[in-house]
Amino acid sequence: MQTRNDPICDDFFIAKCKQHNLKITPQRTAIYNQLSRSKNHPSADLIFQEVKKPFPNISLDTVNRTLLTFSEIGIVDVVEGHGNPRRFDPDKKSHHHFYCIRCGGITDIYNKEYDNLKTVEEIEQKFIVLSKRVVFNGICDNCVGK
């Protein structure tokens, strides 16, 4: 369990907050630490359930707004929602996702070929592409056997 005295996870978090004049509060630090430890692309509610243990007065709205702020300043990414609550991804390395339509699990996929997909000319003429992410939808190996 996280305590109010836990150190900040990394210099990236501090640098991004300072770059955007965002105060590094114990609550923001706890939210970031909880998210960065997660491997399952958590929702704001899952982060809230853990962060409220050391901060019982924190609200779900505060956690959600903090995560959205983190997304706006480039600390985390918002993962494809698929009609469910937003999920958040602290992994800033280039990667893609497999989304299980049964259990809702999201698995990271690291593949250089997907990283280097060429954008079609029609898109390049109409838009400025800032990033690309391949998302596979299907049934994960855990759910196939069920």
Any binding-site annotation on 140? yes
Has 17 been labeled as part of a binding site? no
- Is 4 a member of any domain? no
143 is in an annotated binding site: yes
Same domain, 111 and 75: no
Residue 38 has pLDDT above 60, yes or no: yes
Of the residues 79, 105, 134, the one at which a domain ends: 79
pLDDT over 90 at 33, yes or no = yes
| pLDDT at 29 (0 to 100) | 94
Query: Cα separation of 64 and 81, whole Å?
Result: 14
User: Is 84 within a domain?
Assistant: no
What span, in angstroms and rounded, lies between the C-alpha atoms of 133 and 42?
18
Q: What is the domain count for the chain? A: 2
The reported pLDDT for the residue numbered 82 is 65
Report the distance separating Cα 46 and Cα 33, nearest Å. 13
Q: What is the pLDDT of residues 59-105, one digit of tens each?
A: 999 999 999 999 999 999 988 666 778 899 988 888 999 999 898 88
Q: Is residue 86 part of a domain?
A: no
DSSP code, position 76 = S
Domain that includes residue 127, residue range:
93-144
Distances in Å between the Cα of 10 and the Cα atoms of 17, 37, 53, 75, 115 are 12, 12, 22, 11, 26
What's the pLDDT band for 52 if we cut at 50, 70, 90?
very high
Same domain? 27 vs 66: yes
Tell me which of 39, 56, 79 is where a domain ends.
Answer: 79
Is 103 assigned a ligand-binding role in the annotation?
yes
pLDDT band at 3 (very low <50, low <70, confident <90, very high): very low
- Tell me the pLDDT band of 131, cut-offs 50, 70 and 90: confident
For residue 1, is it within any domain?
A: no
Could you tell me if 71 and 100 lie in one domain?
no
CATH number of the domain encompassing residue 66: 1.10.10.10
Contact 114, 134 (CB under 8 A): yes
According to DSSP, the residues that pair with 77 across neighbouring strands are: 89
Residue 85 lies in a domain: no
Residue 103 falls inside a structural domain: yes
